[in-house]
C-alpha cells in the first residue's frame, strides 16, 4: 500500500515555496490571519462508500479561486482520474484519507494522466498558484501502490 502522509503545512507558491511545521487554525475568515476570508467547500464522503470523485471535483470547481476546501476525518473513495488545475489562492484542509480504488486496474492504466517524466503517470493532477495543503499530521493520500497492482 502506498501511504503518503502530509505533515504540517506546505505552501506551494512557485519559486517562493515555503514550508512550516506549525499547525494553524483554518476558518472561513482566514488561516491564522495569513489569508483573506474565502468561500468554503466542505466535501462530504458518500455515506454508502461510493465514488467520492464527483463531489471532490465539484468542490475544487466551486472553490477554485480564493477558496477553502475541507475534508473531514473520513475515507473518500476515488474511482476516476481527477484534474484540479488552474487553482488560485486555495487552501486544502485534509483530515481524512483520499483512497484510490484498486479494484479496476485497467481503468487506471487506460485513463491516467501522463507526466512526461520517466514514462510516469498520475491519477490526480493538482496545480495552480498559492496552494496551501494542510494534512494535520493525519491527512493521507492512499494510491494502493504495489498492493493495488497485484489485485
Per-residue pLDDT of the chain (151 residues; tens, 9 = 90+): 223 333 333 333 333 333 433 344 555 555 555 556 789 999 999 999 999 999 999 999 999 999 999 999 999 999 999 999 999 999 999 999 999 998 888 898 899 888 877 778 889 999 999 999 999 999 999 988 776 555 5
- Residue 149: per-residue pLDDT: 54
Q: Distance (Å, rounded) from C-alpha 96 to C-alpha 66?
A: 22
- Residue 97: per-residue pLDDT: 97
Residue 98: in which H helix or E strand, if any? strand 97-100
- Residue 4: per-residue pLDDT: 33
CA angle 16–20–22, rounded 5-degree value:
160
Find all residues with CB under 8 Å of 5, minimum gap 6, and list them: 135, 137, 138, 139, 140
Q: Distance (Å, rounded) from C-alpha 121 to C-alpha 79?
A: 16
Q: Which three cell numbers stand for residue 6?
A: 502530509
Q: Distance (Å, rounded) from C-alpha 31 to C-alpha 68?
A: 10
- Residue 3: per-residue pLDDT: 31
- Residue 21: per-residue pLDDT: 36
The predicted model scores a pTM of: 0.76
Amino acid at each position: 500500500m502506498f501511504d503518503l502522509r502530509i505533515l504540517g503545512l506546505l505552501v506551494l507558491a512557485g519559486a517562493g515555496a515555503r514550508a512550516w511545521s506549525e499547525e494553524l487554525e483554518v476558518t472561513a475568515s482566514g488561516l491564522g490571519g495569513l489569508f483573506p476570508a474565502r468561500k468554503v467547500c466542505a466535501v462530504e464522503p458518500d455515506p454508502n462508500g461510493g465514488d467520492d470523485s464527483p463531489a471532490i471535483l465539484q468542490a475544487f470547481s466551486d472553490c477554485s479561486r480564493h477558496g477553502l476546501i475541507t475534508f473531514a476525518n473520513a475515507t473518500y473513495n476515488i474511482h476516476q482520474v481527477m484534474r484540479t488545475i488552474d487553482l488560485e489562492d486555495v487552501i486544502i484542509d485534509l483530515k481524512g484519507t483520499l483512497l484510490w480504488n484498486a479494484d479496476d486496474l485497467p481503468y487506471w492504466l487506460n485513463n491516467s494522466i501522463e507526466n512526461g517524466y520517466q514514462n510516469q503517470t498520475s491519477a490526480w493532477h493538482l496545480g495552480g498558484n498559492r496552494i496551501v495543503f494542510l494534512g494535520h499530521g493525519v491527512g493521507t493520500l492512499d494510491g494502493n501502490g504495489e498492493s493495488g497492482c497485484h489485485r
